[in-house]
């Protein structure tokens, strides 16, 4: 079994070390990850400038390939150029901080796994719901279990659908279980804090509070808050089918006559 | 009526000039757009560095606010900091090049409109299916019609759902009509072309061909190829509900016991 491992925190982060270590116990692992941190880059890809690949060593040993691009770039390049044949699985993480609810939209970690899904490669994104992480080893175990799950269910999981996994930052004995969830509806209440630089000019830092509206354990956000591991199947078909059906009654075809006025 | 206009091609692009011109005929327009081109940035937001805002003049007249960030940054900052109260509508475009099928995932144009949807502001993204654009005025007319449509249907279009509009690059008399569509399944067959720099080191440029699998006129990709204006309702709930229902039979809850081995 061959697994491509990537992330958005950069190839030198602890999360990807732990992920590679645990997945190496069950598969042949190739690491292709961003040279520098790429948090909140969303599904950005690099087209205007070329990319470079360098070999990254840790403690004198080859660890993986560093790409000076985004998480999605790393997966594209890993699958297309670095690995000779596509891997059985792409795994992205372990991210510092949860990727639940609206954060999925902004997440570089999820976009790496989604890029794999676009290329018809099964994939998983994994994040820990904390930025001061204590319990990486439990998340590593969960990564192993999820890799085995996805590979054993290869025929049941449609191409284009990936699993987004979020793990509470707790010792294993405090975790309550694993739950199947949907993307929550919690959102950020963002503001830009206005500051002045030493030359008297304004600049703005984004800051915000997450408004937690999710209460039910069948949402990723509430599951993790209530000490469960959350597993959400997500895809990249953004069509709002409910609205699509309703809009059939809008008869937008008729608006074409207005262009002729 | 107040409309915030943004894009991903940058505040100095022709597309946003045309869009602002046509929407100014029916509303009070505020332009907040990236200082530089931001194509394919996806739903990237800027958190690690601060943002700056500058006033942008065209032919000696104030045109709008330039932000040194991404399209999503511009909309967040436009709604939160620049406009005193949220606008009635956010409109993003007119993009050079279609945002149909898989391109929706990578698009900065769509992410600007989606950021508005996240903030509960009605929104539209508009793109022309060509990079050598001849027929901006027809797209401008369509933008006007879509702005009126969304505002008149404010109670029918759920918060969180935006319209993704794609216009063929044709003279008006050759356009066949307006169609309600779903996101197509066409994807890029990407490769990285390997080159050598003057110092003998490798670098890689992304290039690819779109593999057009969409045939039916109820997909964005096929509608535009067949000379129709395409209108797709999209949202940011990425849950794959079909797989979610099927996964209830997987009993992933039981996998928790494996963490205790």
E strand or H helix at B116, and its extent? helix B108-118
DSSP code per residue over B94-109? EEES---TTHHHH-HH
CA distance B59 to chain A (A): 25
Q: How many CB atoms lie within 10 A of CB B32?
A: 28
- Work out the pLDDT band at B247, boundaries 50, 70, 90: very high
Interface of A with B in 140-159 (CB under 8 A): 141-142, 145, 149, 153, 156-158
Report if residue B202 sits inside a domain.
no
pLDDT number for residue B176: 96
pLDDT number for residue B68: 93
pLDDT number for residue B38: 76
Could you tell me the two tokens for A103? 């954060």
pLDDT number for residue A47: 83
- Contact of A182 with chain B, judged by CB distance below 8 Å, is answered with yes
pLDDT tops 80 at residue B144: yes
- Work out the pLDDT band at A224, boundaries 50, 70, 90: very high
Instruction: Taking residues B83-91, report their average pLDDT.
Output: 95
- Work out the pLDDT band at B254, boundaries 50, 70, 90: very high
pLDDT tops 80 at residue B170: yes
Could you tell me the two tokens for A172? 């294993």
**Chain A residues whose beta carbon lies within 8 Å of the beta carbon of residue B106:** 43-45
CA distance B217 to B204: 36
Report if residue B208 sits inside a domain.
no
Report if residue B67 sits inside a domain.
yes
pLDDT number for residue B8: 93
CA distance B60 to chain A (A): 23
Q: Do B243 and A232 touch (CB under 8 A)?
A: no
Instruction: Taking residues B113-123, report their average pLDDT.
Output: 96
CATH number at residue B118: 3.40.1210.10
pLDDT tops 90 at residue A242: yes
**Chain B residues whose beta carbon lies within 8 Å of the beta carbon of residue A205:** 50-51
**pLDDT averaged over every residue in chain A:** 94
**Domain extent for B233:** 2-184+214-259
Residue matched to tokens 């597309």: B15
**Chain B residues whose beta carbon lies within 8 Å of the beta carbon of residue A241:** 182
E strand or H helix at B220, and its extent? helix B220-225
Report if residue B39 sits inside a domain.
yes
Pairing, β B187-196 against β B202-211:
antiparallel
pLDDT tops 90 at residue A52: yes
Could you tell me the two tokens for A92? 């992205």
The per-residue pLDDT for range A78-129, each reduced to its tens digit, is 999 999 899 999 999 999 999 999 999 999 999 999 999 999 999 999 999 9
Report if residue A125 sits inside a domain.
yes
- Contact of B240 with chain A, judged by CB distance below 8 Å, is answered with yes
- Work out the pLDDT band at A216, boundaries 50, 70, 90: very high
**pLDDT averaged over every residue in chain B:** 94
**Chain A residues whose beta carbon lies within 8 Å of the beta carbon of residue B238:** 104-105, 183, 234-236, 238
pLDDT number for residue A253: 96
Instruction: Taking residues B23-33, report their average pLDDT.
Output: 98
Q: ipTM of the predicted structure?
A: 0.94
- Contact of B203 with chain A, judged by CB distance below 8 Å, is answered with yes
pLDDT number for residue A63: 98
Q: Quick one: DSSP state of residue A108? A: H
Instruction: Taking residues B9-23, report their average pLDDT.
Output: 96
**Chain A residues whose beta carbon lies within 8 Å of the beta carbon of residue B39:** 47-48
Instruction: Taking residues B235-246, report their average pLDDT.
Output: 97
The per-residue pLDDT for range A141-169, each reduced to its tens digit, is 999 999 999 999 989 999 999 999 999 99
Pairing, β B228-234 against β B177-180:
parallel
Residues in chain A: 261
Report if residue B194 sits inside a domain.
no
Give the three-state DSSP class for B141. Answer: helix
CA distance A17 to chain B (A): 20
pLDDT tops 80 at residue B105: yes
Q: Do A118 and B141 touch (CB under 8 A)?
A: no
Using an 8 Å Cβ cutoff, are B175 and B199 in contact? Answer: no
**Chain A residues whose beta carbon lies within 8 Å of the beta carbon of residue B139:** none
- Closest to A256 (Cβ–Cβ): which among B118, B178, B259? B178
Interface of B with A in 7-36 (CB under 8 A): none
Q: Return the closest-CA partner of residue A71 out of A98, A104, A47, A37.
A: A37
Q: Quick one: DSSP state of residue A239? A: B
In B, minimum Cα distance to A195 occurs at B50
Report if residue B209 sits inside a domain.
no
- Work out the pLDDT band at B187, boundaries 50, 70, 90: very high
Number of domains in chain B: 1
Could you tell me the two tokens for A22? 């645990």
């Amino acid at each position: 079994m061959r697994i491509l491992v990537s992330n958005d925190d950069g190839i030198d982060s602890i999360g990807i070390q732990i992920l590679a270590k645990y997945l190496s116990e069950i598969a042949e692992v190739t690491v292709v990850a961003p040279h520098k941190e790429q948090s909140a880059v969303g599904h950005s890809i690099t087209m205007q400038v070329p990319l470079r690949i360098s070999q990254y060593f840790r403690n004198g040993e080859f660890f993986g390939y560093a790409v000076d691009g985004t998480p999605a770039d790393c997966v594209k390049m890993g699958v297309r150029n670095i690995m000779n044949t596509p891997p059985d699985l792409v795994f992205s993480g372990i991210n510092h901080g949860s990727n639940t609810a609206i954060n999925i939209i902004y997440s570089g970690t999820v976009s790496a796994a989604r890029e794999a899904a676009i290329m018809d490669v099964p994939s998983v994104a994994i994040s820990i719901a904390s930025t001061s992480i204590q319990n990486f080893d439990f998340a590593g175990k969960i990564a192993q279990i999820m890799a085995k799950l996805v590979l054993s269910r290869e025929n049941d999981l449609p191409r284009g659908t990936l699993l987004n996994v979020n793990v509470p930052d707790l010792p294993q004995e405090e975790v309550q279980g694993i739950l199947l969830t949907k993307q929550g509806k919690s959102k950020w209440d963002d503001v830009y804090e206005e500051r002045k630089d030493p030359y008297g000019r304004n600049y703005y830092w984004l800051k915000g509070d997450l408004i937690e509206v999710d209460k039910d354990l069948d949402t990723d956000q509430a599951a993790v808050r209530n000490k469960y591991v959350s597993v959400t199947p997500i895809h990249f078909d953004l069509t709002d089918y409910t609205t699509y059906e309703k809009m059939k009654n809008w008869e937008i075809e008729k608006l074409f006559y207005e262009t002729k006025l």
